Chains A and B, each alone.
Chain A
């Protein structure tokens, strides 16, 4: 089945530094990538949607200059948290969709727990 590899699974960084999270679709082409943020014991909140080769579309309230999304190929998308602060600490999850698989073809990465100290 479709697999999305997300790395790193855990990262601790100092306040003010940047962190990059990668999501790779291993056996399919991710025409669309979704990035979510999840706070403890809460649901997933969509941060942005990106289509391969296009600029990402950010949800209201999400700072595009802080959360940089790159989707340069059909198998790789990255989320870079720039100048991280403790309030950016969260669980980040990517989800890739292959449009050729018809409706409902969403595959999730295993998530990245970011802790900013």
Chain B
């Protein structure tokens, strides 16, 4: 089975500051990794995903994440956040050996951008 740990439940940060949201996973098989964003009372929107290739993945809205296999991490970063980035962020994995499997989500990190 897979598990995903998001180490910070809340991350307060000032506008235009850099931010890193941490994600670690555990799995007995190789996985695909995802970051999603959720705005209040809405579904999830894909920010970025790692399937293979370069371990540095660039996504939408200026976000990027780096896959580190040895540390089983997939931390999300943005060099300069905006007020509009305030939302809930979820890290998720799915098994590589059966890509039709469901996503396993972390507990989420609430990013709060302050003016």
Residues in A lying within 8 Å of B, measured CB to CB: 4, 6, 9, 31-32, 34, 41-44, 46, 49, 91, 93, 95, 97, 99, 102-104, 106, 108-111, 113
Chain A nearest CB from B67 CB (Å) reads 13
Pick from B42, B106, B110: contact of A111, CB under 8 Å: B42
B43, B51, B103, B110 — which one has the most chain A CB atoms within 10 A of its CB?
B43
Residue B45 interfacial (CB < 8 Å): yes
Known: A93-B44, A109-B43, A113-B41. A34 touches B103 (CB 8 A): yes
Chain A nearest CB from B57 CB (Å) reads 11
Known contacts A42-B107, A43-B108, A93-B43; 14 further A-B pairs (Cβ under 8 A): A9-B41, A31-B100, A34-B103, A44-B44, A44-B105, A91-B41, A93-B44, A103-B51, A103-B94, A103-B96, A108-B43, A108-B44, A110-B43, A111-B41
Contact A6 B43 (CB under 8 A): yes
Contact A104 B51 (CB under 8 A): yes
Question: Interface code B48-78, partner A: CB below 8 Å = 1, 0 otherwise?
Answer: 0101000000000000000000000000000
Residues in B lying within 8 Å of A, measured CB to CB: 32, 34, 36, 41-46, 49, 51, 90, 94, 96, 99-100, 102-103, 105-108, 110
Set of chain A residues within 8 Å of B106, measured between Cβ atoms: 43
Contact B105 A43 (CB under 8 A): yes
Contact B100 A32 (CB under 8 A): yes
Bound: A95/B102 CA distance, A:
9
Set of chain A residues within 8 Å of B42, measured between Cβ atoms: 110-111
Set of chain B residues within 8 Å of A6, measured between Cβ atoms: 43
Considering only CB atoms, which chain B residue lies closest to A44 in the complex? Answer: B105
A sample of 7 inter-chain contacts (CB < 8 A) reads: A43-B90, A44-B105, A49-B102, A99-B100, A103-B94, A104-B34, A108-B43
Set of chain B residues within 8 Å of A46, measured between Cβ atoms: 102-103
Bound: A106/B34 CA distance, A:
10
Set of chain A residues within 8 Å of B107, measured between Cβ atoms: 42-43
Chain B nearest CB from A30 CB (Å) reads 12
